[in-house]
A and B are shown apart, each in its own frame.
Chain A
Amino acid sequence: MNQGDTNAIEAALRLKEAAGDCEVVLVSMGPDDAINSLRKGLAMGADRATLVSDTGAAGSDIVGTTNVLAAVLTHETPDLILFGQQSADSDGAVLWAAVADRLRQPVISQATSLDLSEGKATVKRQTEYGYDVIEAPLPCVIAVSDGINEPRYPSLKGIMGAKKKPQAIVTLESLGVGAEQAGTAGSRTEVKSLNDPPARGDSQLIEGDGEAAARVLAFLNEKKLT
């Protein structure tokens, strides 16, 4: 499981522990064995999981993935949708925005704290220079930062209890997602080529020769970055 997603699950579990009467549901799209990643979330304490697993969904880009996840979420009608900040593989950090857009719900990213009260979410959103405090009415989508919490380890009882929790593996058809909306057919991205980023021509290499720190400091001073 993505590290970022464990932060989102932890945030959800804490909200549940504080509020009591609610349910934490994990939603994912992936091959059948992705259920094992979801099991970790169930072991941490989530109540149930839904995995969309369908050969027709293989090869989905962000558009296809958004279509599928939005369909699940439309069925579930949650009060709050939490995402991890970004995926561990491609470091995307856009899926939450795309899903929120598709659901026409407000979205807040980089959440370093999160409170719910009176039908709204209050979030501290981390910025380069500090943080913004943002409120949004529920339902909404929030992508949490990795600084929001330290995810718990699943306990052994949690791990062994996880397999008894409801885990639904659903198909595109059961969600009413057409073949043209998912997989390669539902995708708009075409990868033409992948290259390393171009080298930065203006970089300076300062070697550690005893004076290095002083030279770095002089450089930063010159650029007014201290």
Chain B
Amino acid sequence: MNLDLSPEHELIRSTVRDFAESRIGPVAEELDRESRFPYEIVAELADLDLLGLPIPEEHGGAGGDTVSYAIAVEELTRVDASVGVTVAAHTSLGTMPILAFGTEDQHAEWLPQLARGERLAAFGLTEPEAGSDAGAARTTATLDGDSWLINGSKMFITNAGTDISACVTITAVTGEVGGQSEISNIIVPNGTPGYEVSPPLKKMGWRASDTRGLTFENCRVPARNLLGERGRGLAQFLEVLDGGRISIAAMGLGAAQGAYDLAFGYARERQAFGRPISGFQSIQFALADLATEIEAARGLTYRAAWLKDEGREFALAAAQAKLYTGELSNRAVNTALQIHGGYGFMDEYPISRLYRDQKVLEIGEGTNEIQRLVIARQLGLP
């Protein structure tokens, strides 16, 4: 048994950490305050191949493994979750379904520009009336000659409305089979008439990331934009979410590590009662507990990534990692802010942003409750 990361993994970590601290850290507060999408940073991420990290080289990606990808997302989120989710959603949700289920033509049309990071991709599953219960989707796509006619709406979609968004892959009801909705995946290019994105949604956190509502009104796309088999849409998206959970787990891990690092640094500088507060046992224990749980979270997350790389069953590991890191990151930002005292409540202190950015990690890509459901099913419970 060997739990060491390879020298490449270590170099990826130090490179992404250095990049995040020197290029993203200094502007994170401003991006958050102005709710501004960081186009400049996205361009730099593209230069570093971070927008196509696990995509094979023949499709324009870097051909990295899932462990490398998890490390990169962790390190970005440690400094700025908005950047972390932009990369994670683009890669795991936007690009992966096209890689996994696309035809050769669809690969050629979409993957190179997405993997090189010239354009971003989105994944539209959630609807205003269908979140956890994704099968309740109401958006319809009707085959009309050689095109799909799409009507309906989507909610909370990441990366759908940036100036460089290329497309969104949606779930849509394409018919009825045995009294049940037949759900399929369809790629809708940005700029297609009848496809509109709302103004950016105003959010508690992840403010420098792009989140929109989408509407489709007699929106027509070519029949060949069907992704994968007709009627396999939900199964495909559930499979995509299994992989996506590894990246959200990596975000939870990064958020927890970032919060811990801020608290650790602050505790050693802040004086109270004539000594650094890091000298108080209650602060030491809080940090000791966090450091311990973060190591556990890292083990779960990298193991899920490693199982995927080995071509083994990873859905259970990914859901466990996602659930654990989501809840851990919540404890971590809470404890870390507490250690900052009143300063932690001030916008100037990054911990306040990490605190706001954290919550959605327990909601997106399956809430904590849904993770428990997935885990229970994987355990064989009825």
Contacts and interface: CB of A to CB of B under 8 A. Distances in A.
A49 to B, nearest CB: 13
Nearest to B10: A36
A16 interface: no
B47 A154 contact: no
Contacts of B19: 153
Contacts, number: 48
A76 B64 CA distance: 34
- Most B CB contacts (10 A, CB to CB) among A40, A154, A156, A160 go to A156
Contact of A43 (B11, B47, B53): B11
B74 interface: no
* Residues of A in contact with B, size category: 10 to 19
Contacts of B99: none
Contacts of B50: 156
B196 to A, nearest CB: 35
Interface residues of B, number: 20
Interface in A41-95: 43
B63 A153 contact: no
B7 A156 contact: no
B7 A39 contact: yes
B57 A157 contact: yes
Interface of A: 36, 39-40, 43, 153-157, 159-160, 162-163
23 contacts: A36-B7, A39-B8, A40-B11, A40-B14, A43-B15, A153-B15, A153-B19, A154-B15, A154-B48, A156-B49, A156-B50, A156-B62, A156-B64, A156-B68, A156-B72, A159-B8, A159-B11, A159-B15, A160-B62, A160-B63, A160-B64, A162-B11, A163-B7
Query: Across chains A and B, which 9 residue pairs bring their CB atoms closest together, nearest first?
Result: A156-B49, A156-B62, A155-B49, A157-B62, A36-B7, A155-B48, A159-B11, A157-B49, A153-B19
Interface of B: 7-8, 10-12, 14-15, 18-19, 47-50, 53, 57, 62-64, 68, 72
Given A153-B18, A159-B11, 7 more contacts: A39-B8, A40-B15, A43-B11, A153-B19, A154-B15, A156-B62, A159-B12
